[in-house]
């Protein structure tokens, strides 16, 4: 069931302090929603800090069920007692929907999402964090390939040894990736598990099971491990918010392997639940200032860090988390700092 996007926003706004929000320079008086917009994009047109959206939203009483925003709708900025408010005007495209002779209706447009979930969902199909090395070492593993092959691919049968969960017959095949440690204390934080493929258990005999590979994005090898899918669905109505605790960390990794990080790339952070991070928290990204020599005094001087982007945490583990870059005014990189916005 689709959750009501603006109903959640209105609920959140009830608990927010009525502080004066900061409007963005050059904000529009009116904006008409177009296909491909997200709530984050739209709020960024009006506000310096897009997550303050609930503080200025005002549902028009004359509009029935103002629970979703659609392409063609208009948002109008007004001021009430000196406080900015956004009003919703339904677009003409939300009018009458014609029905076919078979009484089959077609929606005029899909409601806009708060965050581009396709960027998150596609990532979560291929990556996960393991919180201990034992968790990886104790997982079922590929002991043999069909016809004594050492590498396998889509359509092949492979043989798995280890304790499988009888409640699941679909598994992902993973290979150990980077081991993450704290850059300062060198504490173990977790292991990145790279997804190689996936398949379905078709037979079991003793502690050996037969699995048919239904997908593979690279060669599946002996010793690769099996894990059932993570049963933590992505929140379809993220409400971006500032963290309640003070957070100071770094970007540890870019799991997809790119060297230059930009908008809608996913990054791994060295902070997690124990540091007060929650899904939906927004963090500012800072480029570390260079150390230069003062030509007048000869001293080494560090240039101040500069804010270079913004990201939202969308999955948290105990010591690590995944974040989605929402905007960047320059290329970001591993070891860039993340702080409260």
E strands of the chain, at which residues? 30-32, 74-80, 83-89, 127-130, 141-145, 151-152, 157-161, 170-181, 188-205, 208-216, 220-221, 225-228, 248-253, 266-269, 282-287, 291-293, 300-302, 306-316, 321-328, 337-339
* pLDDT of amino acid 289: 84
* CA pair distance 338, 286, nearest whole angstrom: 6
Which letter, b or e, does each residue of 9-33 get, where b requires 16 or more Cβ atoms within 10 Å of its Cβ? bbebbeeeeeeebeeeeeeeeebeb
Instruction: Check residue 174 and give its pLDDT.
Output: 93
How far apart are the C-alpha atoms of 62 and 83, rounded to whole Å?
Answer: 21
At residue 22, the pLDDT reads: 82
pLDDT of residue 258: 67
**Per-residue pLDDT at 185 exceeds 80:** yes
- Greater confidence (60 vs 47) lies with 47
Q: Which CATH class is domain 248-339?
A: mainly beta
Q: Are strands 337-339 and 248-253 parallel, antiparallel or unpaired?
A: antiparallel
Give the pLDDT band (50/70/90) at residue 214: very high
List, for residues 272-321, the tens digit of each pLDDT value: 999 999 988 999 999 988 899 999 999 999 989 899 999 989 889 999 99
- pLDDT more than 90, % of the chain: 31
Q: What's the whole-number mean pLDDT along residues 46-73?
A: 67
pLDDT at position 340: 92
Q: What are 231-258's pLDDT values in tens digits?
A: 555 555 566 788 989 999 999 998 866 6
pLDDT number for residue 95: 45
Per domain, the residue ranges of the chain are 5-14+21-92+109-114, 127-228, 248-339
- Residue-level pLDDT at 92: 66
- Looking at the predicted structure, is the pLDDT value of residue 195 above 60? yes
| pLDDT for 288 | 84
Cα 47 vs. chain centroid, distance in angstroms? Answer: 22
What pLDDT score does 232 carry? 55
Q: What is the pTM of this model?
A: 0.70
Higher pLDDT, residue 86 or 92: 86
Cα angle for residues 215, 216, 222 (degrees, 5° grid): 120
Round to whole Å and give the CA distance between 198 and 215: 5
The pLDDT of residue 8? 40
Per-residue pLDDT tens over the stretch 38-53: 777 788 888 887 777 7
> 54 near 13, Cβ under 8 Å?
yes
What is the mean predicted confidence (pLDDT) over 49-63? 65
* Mean per-residue pLDDT of the chain: 79
Helix, strand or coil, per DSSP, at residue 14: helix
pLDDT at 212: 94
Does the structure show a pLDDT above 50 at 3? no
Give the pLDDT band (50/70/90) at residue 330.
confident
Using the predicted structure, report yes or no on whether residue 127 has a pLDDT greater than 80: no
CA distance 83 to 290: 41
Higher pLDDT, 322 or 108: 322
The mean pLDDT value for 142-164 works out to 91
pLDDT for the residue numbered 320: 95
């Amino acid at each position: 069931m689709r959750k009501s996007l603006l109903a959640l926003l209105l609920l959140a706004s009830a608990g927010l302090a009525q502080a004066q929000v900061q409007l963005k320079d050059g904000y529009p008086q009116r904006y008409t929603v177009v296909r491909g917009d997200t709530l984050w994009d739209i709020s960024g047109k009006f506000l310096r800090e897009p997550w303050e959206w609930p503080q200025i939203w005002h549902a028009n009483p004359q509009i029935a069920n103002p629970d979703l925003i659609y392409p063609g709708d208009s948002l109008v900025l007004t001021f009430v007692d000196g406080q900015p408010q956004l009003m919703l005007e339904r677009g003409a495209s939300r009018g009458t929907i014609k029905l076919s002779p078979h009484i089959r209706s077609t929606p005029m447009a899909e409601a806009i999402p708060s965050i581009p979930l396709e960027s998150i969902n596609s990532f979560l199909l291929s990556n996960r964090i393991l919180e201990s090395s034992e968790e990886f070492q104790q997982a079922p593993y590929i002991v043999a390939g069909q016809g004594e092959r050492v590498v396998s691919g889509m359509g092949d049968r492979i043989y798995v040894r280890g304790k499988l969960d009888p409640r699941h017959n679909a598994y992902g095949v993973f290979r150990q990736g980077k081991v993450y440690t704290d850059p300062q204390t060198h504490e173990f934080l977790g292991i990145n598990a790279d997804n190689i493929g996936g398949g379905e258990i078709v037979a079991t005999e003793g502690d050996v099971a037969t699995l048919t590979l239904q997908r593979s994005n690279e060669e599946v090898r002996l010793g690769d491990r099996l894990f059932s899918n993570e049963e933590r669905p992505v929140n379809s109505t993220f409400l971006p918010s500032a963290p309640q605790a003070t957070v100071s960390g770094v970007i540890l990794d870019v799991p997809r392997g790119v060297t230059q990080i930009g908008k809608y790339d996913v990054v791994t952070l060295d902070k997690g639940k124990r540091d007060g991070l929650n899904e939906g928290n927004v963090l500012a990204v800072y480029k570390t200032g260079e150390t230069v020599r003062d030509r007048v005094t000869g001293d080494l001087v560090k240039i101040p860090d500069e804010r270079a982007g913004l990201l939202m945490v969308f999955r948290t583990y105990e010591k690590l988390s995944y974040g989605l870059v929402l905007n960047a005014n320059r290329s970001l990189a591993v070891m860039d700092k993340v702080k409260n916005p």
